[in-house]
Structure 1
Amino acid sequence: MLKIHDPADDSLVGTMPVTAADALGSVLGSAKKAARRWASTPAAERGAAVKDAARELRERVGELAGLIESETGKPRAEAEESVLAGVGTLEQYAELGPVHRGRSLLGDPGATDLMVPEARGVVVALTPWNDPVAVACGLLGAALVTGNTVVHKPSERCPHTGGLLGTVLSSLLPDGVLQTVQGDGEIGAALAASRDVDLVAHVGSTAAGRSIASATAKTGAKALLENGGNDPLVVDAGVDPRWAAAQAATGAFANSGQICVAVERIYVHQDIADAFLGALAEEAGNRRLAPLVDRRHREGVHDQVVEAIAQGAEPLTGGELPDGPGAFYPATVLVGCTTGMRVFKEETFGPVAPVCVTPDFDQALELAATDDYGLAATVLTASMEHAQRAWRELPVGTVKVNDVFGGAPGGSAHPRRASGSGYGYGPELLDEMTQTKVVHLAPPGP
């Protein structure tokens, strides 16, 4: 039984039964049985069903946002925006699915050669707690419109949110096309190891992603992974330090730092370091943050901060556990950080801004590029030369210049190294959810 407490005041949100491990075979069997029928459904009908599901989801925005707030601590207004983003994603894939296409090839004029996309079959979607509806809608929407059936396991930290999402969407789909199971990592691992699964899509920790990759290497299923990030922010000389500090604070403290592409480590040029750090400390002191998802997660964040201070880092703000109920943690700015500290080497996923002062842009760029992760990076610079160097040299999937959370909709990048593999968003996600078959049609004998 999953027991969920509100991270703001420790009150009980509710309990959720865990799907029994011996019931997974039946769930996957239903998905496999429905797969052929759903794949042969005209693409326009699949798109229409997903569009209907999006319309129904829009009617339940308030209910879903309330669950997100109570289970994860995300403020109500932000939770509503997040659900609406998920609705928009479903609508997008409902339109893109029917126009997803293959290619014809130029071969013998007397024959026809085609590259045809086909549904993979049964997709397992393992989704996170930090943005539970928006992320799930991307994976579920893309899988469904391309003709796959889906078994969805939401994070055990937000089972009520995931359960309601599944109920709303599955009510508009044929039996077996979308099913929701509940449980912790053991249930996710069992799904990933099943030979009845054709693709495992996972957004979450690097450790879980590596376990999934190992499991799918044995079964032959495709692994589509967006895992942890340790995103750098490079602050160059020549920029307004107060503007740069506001950008850094947004990147490090938004959603209490619980964002996959949050700023996790900061390299600032020595020429503006003092002004930047003063402004960043002021930004941090003025922020009233939502709680972290639970006390267990808060302990992990605080452990990294305490360890960094013991190794010589200095807290300009924050760094102490607050009194009172809930899982709150203050916006924390650490100076004097070194690249060997765990707060610089690992994803903190909390409202912590560790800063390293560098003598020049070259060193900052080199340090930013030296990491086991490769999700995203941000560079604040007034130099076009430095901007060009940054996007070319940083080994990450997404580079943002002068806008920490900027970007046009529909962008889809490949995360690198420990951050995962495969497209996770945009039209390209439809390619991940399908497999290509080459067909050669020649006329019969002489």
Structure 2
Amino acid sequence: MYRVEQLIAGAWVAGGDGRFEVVDPADGTPVSDVPVATAADVDAAVKAARQAAPRWARTPAAERAAALRRAADTLEAEADRLAEAQTAEMGRPVGGARGGVEAGVATLRQYAELGPVHGGRTLAGASDAIDLMAYEPRGVVAAITPWNDAVAVSCGLLGAALVTGNTVIYKPSERTPATGWLLARILAEHLPEGVLSLLTGDGAVGAALTGQEVDVVAHVGSTATGRAIAAACAATGAKALLENGGSDPLIVDAEVDPVWAAQQAATGAFANSGQICVAVERIYVHRSVADRFLGELVQRCADLRVGPGRDPRTELGPLVDRRHREHVHAQVAAAVADGATVLHGGAVPDGPGAFYPPTVLADCADAMAVMREETFGPVAPVMVVDSFDEALSRACSSPYGLAASVLTASMSNAQRAWRELPVGTVKINAVFGGAPGGAAHPRRGSGQGFGYGPELLDELTVTKAVHLEPPGGPHPHW
């Protein structure tokens, strides 16, 4: 069992007001014993970060980048340990968990390269003056991260914040606290005292942290939590940087290969048991390919190997816990009650753990929660449409704006889709993928601000306009 500690003012302490336990979602066995941060812990962490901020901001960017590179090297060496912790805490198949750690390593290295060249710019002013725009760190960043891809997402927010000269209070999800603790230990080994703090606990701890006098709250997680954070930041004046929920559509156009389309849909809907921010959440398939597409999608479900994440043969692990399974199944049951047809899955299995089968629902309607809200589970709800126009119109009708995927053989439809879909990321003929450094603005209920890429460095810095000119009269030393 992992016995998690908190990092406050450079010291690892048990601290907390009581402790809680995280269990393995595959079999219910205890995994992590975790402290719940007190108000005093939160206050002490923020004060330590504030005290360390000026010195870290003055540290040359090349030195900050070197610290990040060393941390990336250590994380790479400890990749198996981090992957095993994530699998134990939230059930992700160990191969996928290791891929998440590898993505985190690459992200730290990317920001180590970008940080020192993230400069300002000079302006064309008077010939005897100097005008420039200079970047400075914002100060103290509260990073509140999710459980579904704990290492990769945390490395993005922490790496960008640290390399730009901010100090950080890191609060990982209460569902993956040991994973966050192990990551924090690796990072802290290479940082000065007070630059990084770790607090653990539930939403109440996160709320206490966002109510403090921090300069940025960076959050990846649910829309409800994101809105609460935005309200808290409005009161304190902190910048809110949010990537929240989504209900990402997949459009399957006419004349595409239905076998290939079903493989893409299955990957998008079932990877990490559907617990991915940009997972396929709702599918609009053209009538001309619908029957073959649905048949192939059901076959993909039947072929998936379901089991505990620690088994290297597993393709579909459990959901993060039984509470989340209740949420997923409630949406499926409500859809069936409203007329949806279960083509595969759709039932809570007997036995231990939080397993849920890959599920395909046909005859879905716009008003159903599975088509309107974020399910975050291995559920593929399908609506058959008569035209690309209809599919695009339905896909655009959502309170979210995170991502969308389009499978089409028509260049004109592809061009129209990426221009009209009101989301931050559009993927044509692939449900996942993209070049390194890609970044996007989530919209509406899905958040605000860049959460990845070089642009995240801009989000975590402030720009100062500077004008220098000679003093009046004689100035021999100018």
One of 397, 410, 413 as aligned partner of 2:440 = 413
1:307 Cα shift? Answer: 0.3
One of 401, 411, 414 as aligned partner of 1:374 = 401
Q: SS of 2:227's equivalent?
A: helix
TM-score, normalization: structure 2? 0.92
One of 183, 194, 197 as aligned partner of 2:201 = 183
Contact 1:230 1:345 in 2 (8 A): yes
Name the counterpart of 1:282. 299
CA RMSD, 1 decimal: 0.7
1:57-102 Cα deviation digits (max 9, x unpaired)? 1121111111011001011121111111101111111111111111
Contact 2:32 2:177 in 1 (8 A): no
1:42-441 aligned within 5 A:
42-195=60-213, 197-288=214-305, 289-441=316-468
After TM superposition, the structure 1 stretch with the greater mean CA deviation from structure 2, 247-256 or 100-109, is 100-109
Measured in 1, the distance between the counterparts of 2:299 and 2:431 equals 19
1:35-46 aligned within 5 A:
35-46=53-64
Task: Provide the aligned length of Structure 1 versus Structure 2.
Answer: 445
Name the aligned partner's letter for residue 304 of structure 1. Q
Measured in 1, the distance between the counterparts of 2:290 and 2:84 equals 41
Name the counterpart of 2:10. none
1:442 Cα shift? Answer: 1.2
Name the aligned partner's letter for residue 272 of structure 1. V
TM-score, normalization: structure 1? 0.99
Q: SS of 1:263's equivalent?
A: coil
Q: Which runs of 5+ in 1 are unaligned?
A: none
Measured in 2, the distance between the counterparts of 1:356 and 1:108 equals 63
Measured in 1, the distance between the counterparts of 2:365 and 2:469 equals 65
Q: SS of 1:357's equivalent?
A: strand
1:244-284 Cα deviation digits (max 9, x unpaired)? 11110000000100000000000011111111111111111
Measured in 2, the distance between the counterparts of 1:125 and 1:161 equals 15
Q: SS of 2:380's equivalent?
A: strand
Contact 2:131 2:467 in 1 (8 A): yes
Q: SS of 1:124's equivalent?
A: strand
Q: Which runs of 5+ in 2 are unaligned?
A: 1-18, 306-315, 474-478
Contact 1:2 1:156 in 2 (8 A): no
1:321 Cα shift? Answer: 0.3
Measured in 2, the distance between the counterparts of 1:347 and 1:268 equals 19
1:309-367 Cα deviation digits (max 9, x unpaired)? 00000000000000111101000000000000011110000000000111110010000
Q: SS of 2:207's equivalent?
A: helix
Name the aligned partner's letter for residue 434 of structure 1. T
Measured in 1, the distance between the counterparts of 2:41 and 2:444 equals 35
Q: Identity, % of aligned pairs?
A: 64
